[in-house]
């Protein structure tokens, strides 16, 4: 099969082609797995974290990609949940132990043996991949393959982030950073909480205009103050500055949810600007998001089909994965980037 492979950690600003196109043997499903013929795979900022070493794969070479859509090509001997030809999706959660206290209470995302697609196991930047069938998801018919791909990560982790804000009708919500996840959260909020107001903070004028087109009541630069204090804010950026800036926009008792697998260290010194009375006092909270569970993916797919949420997408050929990643690094974003796989 054809695959785009990462062979080692590098700085994508210096090496603009971190992935190498190779041919490798088609994977063979184990007894509890399915073989998926990939048709689309979303491109996520987490791939930049893997490439640049902030969340490094345990071994190389590795096939990245954890927003995977495809058709079941073959089932293992103990398979039975899916039939050949079924359309399925594979998200960031590739597997978990299923027996620890976190798994038993539905928090598989916190499992000590959590395994990530495209990091701990080969993912969807390839023509084929395997996955435990219990960790694959049926995809609602109303979405095309490219529309469905970003729902599996940007949408699912956005759904979990929104849930962790404790959002209510009539609340004010801030979104700092407005890429794939942010624009899906905005669509969710407008459906679930019609009287809520959403405020967007973004460096790019194009992102701010896009947010207002989608229904944000206000959009400003990361360092601007919102017209009013906010009940909750979701940060989807890879840096520290927006965290400090967001805290000053929270109401007393407000909550900041950080939806990022890692933070880059380039602007870590900005944390020295943290002022306790200004940013943290009055019982403000900071909550991080760690991975997603299967229920997050399932519940969000159902919600997305109900609304329906159809993400804004930019398509690239599999061979152009490096270009898509460089554009993501350079913040050339409008919606979500998706690789089409022949």
| pLDDT 10s digits, 46-81 | 999 999 999 999 999 999 999 999 999 998 777 788
pLDDT digits (tens, 9 = 90+) for 275-290: 999 899 999 999 999 9
Cα distances from 274 to residues 29, 173, 198, 223, 279, in angstroms, run 50, 22, 25, 14, 7
Shared-domain flag, residues 229 and 210: yes
Shared-domain flag, residues 274 and 161: yes
Shared-domain flag, residues 51 and 140: yes
CATH of the domain at 39: 3.90.180.10
Shared-domain flag, residues 121 and 186: no
User: Across-strand partners of 95?
Assistant: 115
DSSP 265: S
**CA–CA distance, 151 with 42 (Å, rounded to integer):** 9
Q: Is the dihedral of CA 207, 302, 86, 6 positive or negative?
A: positive
- Model confidence at 222, pLDDT cuts 50, 70, 90, reads very high
- Model confidence at 267, pLDDT cuts 50, 70, 90, reads confident
**CA–CA distance, 154 with 146 (Å, rounded to integer):** 13
pLDDT of residue 171: 97
Is pLDDT at 40 greater than 80 in this prediction? yes
- Please measure the distance between the N-terminal and C-terminal CA atoms of the chain and give it in whole angstroms: 11
Shared-domain flag, residues 117 and 237: no
Neighbouring CB atoms inside 10 A of 298's CB total: 14
The distance from CA 30 to its chain's CA centroid, rounded to whole angstroms, is: 27
- Model confidence at 268, pLDDT cuts 50, 70, 90, reads confident
Beta carbons of 341 and 39 less than 8 angstroms apart = yes
pLDDT of residue 22: 98
Beta carbons of 315 and 338 less than 8 angstroms apart = yes
Write 318-321 long-range contacts (CB < 8 A, 24+): 318/2, 318/4, 318/41, 318/125, 318/126, 318/127, 318/342, 319/4, 319/21, 321/4, 321/19, 321/43, 321/125
Shared-domain flag, residues 144 and 235: no
Shared-domain flag, residues 327 and 284: no
pLDDT of residue 342: 80
Is pLDDT at 4 greater than 90 in this prediction? yes
What counts of helices (H) and strands (E) characterise the chain?
Answer: 9, 18
pLDDT of residue 213: 94
**CA–CA distance, 170 with 96 (Å, rounded to integer):** 37
Give the tokens for residue 263: 């933070």
Of residues 136 and 262, which shows the higher confidence score? 136
Q: What is the mean pLDDT of residues 242-246?
A: 95
Q: How many structural domains are present in the chain?
A: 2
DSSP 239: S
CATH of the domain at 197: 3.40.50.720
Of 147, 194, 154, the closest CA to residue 45 belongs to: 154
Is pLDDT at 264 greater than 90 in this prediction? no
- Model confidence at 272, pLDDT cuts 50, 70, 90, reads confident
Lowest mean pLDDT across 65-69, 262-266, 315-319: 262-266
Beta carbons of 295 and 319 less than 8 angstroms apart = no
Of 208, 165, 206, 205, the closest CA to residue 185 belongs to: 165
pLDDT of residue 260: 87
Q: How many CA atoms lie within 13 A of 136 on its CB side?
A: 30
Cα distances from 208 to residues 17, 176, 217, 328, 341, in angstroms, run 30, 10, 11, 17, 31
Is pLDDT at 235 greater than 90 in this prediction? yes
Neighbouring CB atoms inside 10 A of 56's CB total: 16
pLDDT digits (tens, 9 = 90+) for 74-109: 987 777 889 999 999 999 999 999 999 999 999 999
Shared-domain flag, residues 267 and 298: no
Shared-domain flag, residues 143 and 255: no
Q: What is this structure's pTM?
A: 0.91
- Model confidence at 307, pLDDT cuts 50, 70, 90, reads very high
**CA–CA distance, 272 with 211 (Å, rounded to integer):** 30
Last residue of a domain, one of 288, 311, 331: 288
**CA–CA distance, 300 with 314 (Å, rounded to integer):** 21
**Considering the chain, what is the average pLDDT of its residues?**
94
Is pLDDT at 263 greater than 90 in this prediction? no
* Helix 294-306 / helix 154-165 crossing angle, nearest 10 deg: 100
pLDDT of residue 331: 79
Shared-domain flag, residues 67 and 181: no
Give the tokens for residue 306: 């109900």
DSSP 209: H
Shared-domain flag, residues 123 and 236: no
Q: Which domain holds residue 36?
A: 2-152+292-340
Give the tokens for residue 241: 């500055």
- Model confidence at 202, pLDDT cuts 50, 70, 90, reads very high
Q: What is the mean pLDDT of residues 119-136?
A: 98
Shared-domain flag, residues 21 and 127: yes
């Amino acid at each position: 099969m054809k695959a785009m492979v990462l062979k080692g950690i590098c700085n994508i600003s210096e090496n603009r082609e971190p992935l190498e196109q190779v041919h490798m043997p088609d994977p063979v499903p184990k007894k509890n797995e399915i073989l998926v013929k990939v048709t689309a795979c979303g491109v996520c900022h987490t791939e930049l974290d893997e490439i640049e070493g902030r969340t490094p794969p345990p071994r190389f070479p590795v096939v990245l990609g954890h927003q995977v859509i495809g058709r079941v090509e073959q089932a293992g001997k103990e398979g039975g949940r899916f039939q050949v030809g079924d359309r399925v999706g594979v998200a960031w959660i590739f597997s978990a132990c299923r027996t620890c206290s976190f798994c038993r209470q539905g928090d598989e995302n916190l499992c000590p043996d959590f395994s990530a697609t495209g990091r701990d196991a080969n993912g969807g930047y390839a023509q084929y991949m395997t996955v435990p069938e219990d960790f694959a998801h049926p995809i609602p018919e109303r979405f095309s393959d490219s529309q469905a791909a970003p729902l599996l990560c940007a949408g699912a982790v956005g759904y979990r982030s929104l849930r962790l804000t404790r959002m209510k009708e009539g609340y004010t919500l801030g979104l700092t950073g407005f890429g794939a996840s942010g624009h899906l959260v905005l669509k969710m909020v407008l459906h679930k909480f019609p009287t809520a107001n959403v405020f967007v903070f973004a460096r790019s004028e194009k992102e701010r205009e896009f947010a207002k087109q989608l229904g944000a009541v206000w959009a400003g630069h990361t360092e601007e103050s919102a017209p009013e204090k906010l009940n909750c804010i979701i940060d989807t950026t890879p840096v520290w500055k927006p965290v400090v800036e967001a805290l000053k926009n929270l109401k007393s008792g407000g909550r900041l949810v950080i939806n990022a697998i890692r933070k880059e260290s380039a602007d870590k010194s900005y944390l020295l600007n943290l002022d306790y009375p200004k940013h943290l006092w009055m019982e403000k909270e900071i909550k991080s998001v760690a991975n997603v569970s299967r229920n997050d993916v399932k519940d969000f797919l159902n919600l997305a089909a109900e609304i329906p949420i159809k993400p804004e997408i930019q398509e690239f050929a599999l061979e152009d994965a490096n270009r898509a990643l460089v554009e993501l690094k350079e913040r050339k974003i409008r919606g979500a980037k998706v690789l089409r796989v022949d």
